[in-house]
Amino acid sequence: MSECVQPYYMKDGSLMDCSSFQMGLINEGKSIYEVARLHNNRLLFSEDHLHRLFTSLQLEGIDSWLTKEEIISTLENLISNNPVKEGNIKFVVNVRSHIDRHFFAYFVKHRYPSENDYEKGVKITTFPFERTDPNKKVWRPEFRREVAELLSRKQAFEALLIDSKNSVPEASKSNVFAIIDNTVITPPDDLVLPGITRKYVLKACREMGIQVRMRTIQLEEIERVDGLFLSGTSIHVLPVCQVNDTRLSIENEIILKIINQFQKTINS
């Protein structure tokens, strides 16, 4: 099944019909990617996404043949040639050899939380998985497929990743935060993919004087937290009401403050 969901995608600066897009284009070789959200015809946090893309390439030892300006021009062409003002855009640097390398950009299927999800929280599950390179956004199709099957089977919104130490560094597509004794707890930067939304959640906490502690979250702690929420490109800041069979309260003032402050950032 193709990921490309709008009429056109971009390949190496050229506009292509999505009917010609095949997953082998990014599944073969090594793919470094970003997913950014188009909101009211504006690509949110584009500079942050580009910075993380180039950081991932550097960590992977890949020399980019593209400039930031060339990538921005490609994304602008993609947006102007597809009839949407809201959606998620995936852009991918794919390398098969030093001479066989490409840049793709296309709209992908998205799932944004409903108003009810934000008001009542979402149910999530757990998935045993440990990233060997958490700071790099590398495309892993098998991992994505296994998580999608789990979420469908469990009827869950997202999956917390559980490592060999029974810690919860992050979720499959999002970062995780716990509230314990009026303090926001989130894993250290070196253990997680440095999420763009996570960056602005931490900024919101600093602006509001909310105490933040960077440390690992243990799975057995979750049943005792005062609140739990996720952050990500598609979900923004999303409360969690249940992890597996453990029900959690979403009536937490700190989470509400962070949601409101992050929305101000989006509006600006």
Residue 268's CB is within 10 A of a number of other CB atoms, namely: 5
Residue 37 burial (10 A CB sphere; 0-12, 13-18, 19+) = buried
Render pLDDT for 30-86 as a digit per residue (tens, 0 to 9).
Answer: 999 999 999 999 999 999 999 999 999 999 999 999 999 999 999 999 999 999 999
Which of 98-102, 129-133, 219-223 has the lowest average pLDDT? 129-133
Q: How high is the mean pLDDT of the chain?
A: 94
Kindly report the pTM of this predicted structure.
0.90
How would you list the strands of the sheet with 14-17, edge to edge? 14-17, 8-11, 101-108, 87-95, 30-39, 42-43
By CB atoms closer than 10 A (0-12, 13-18, 19+), residue 64 is: middle
pLDDT tens string 129-185: 988 777 778 788 899 999 999 999 999 999 999 999 999 999 999 999 999 999 999
Contact 15, 118 (CB under 8 A): no
Q: What is the pLDDT of residue 140?
A: 86
- Report the alpha-carbon distance of residue 156 to residue 171 in Å, rounded: 12
Let me know: does 159 contact 153? Beta carbons within 8 Å. no
**What's the pLDDT at 173?**
94
User: 223: helix, coil or strand?
Assistant: helix
Residue ranges and CATH numbers for the domains of the chain are 8-108 (3.30.470.10), 115-267 (3.20.10.10)
Residue 22 and residue 16: Cα distance in Å, rounded? 12
Amino acid 98: pLDDT? 85
Two structure tokens written together for 23: 């997953």
Q: Which pair of tokens denotes residue 129?
A: 């998985």
Structure confidence at residue 149 (pLDDT): 96
E strands, the chain, are 8-11, 14-17, 30-39, 42-43, 87-95, 101-108, 122-128, 158-162, 170-171, 175-180, 183-186, 212-214, 227-232, 236-243, 246-247
Asked if 30 and 81 count as a contact pair (C-beta separation under 8 A), the reply is no
Q: Is the pLDDT of residue 268 over 90?
A: no
User: Is the model's pLDDT at 258 over the cut of 70?
Assistant: yes
**CA dist., res. 246 & res. 139, Å (int):** 31
pLDDT of 1:
61
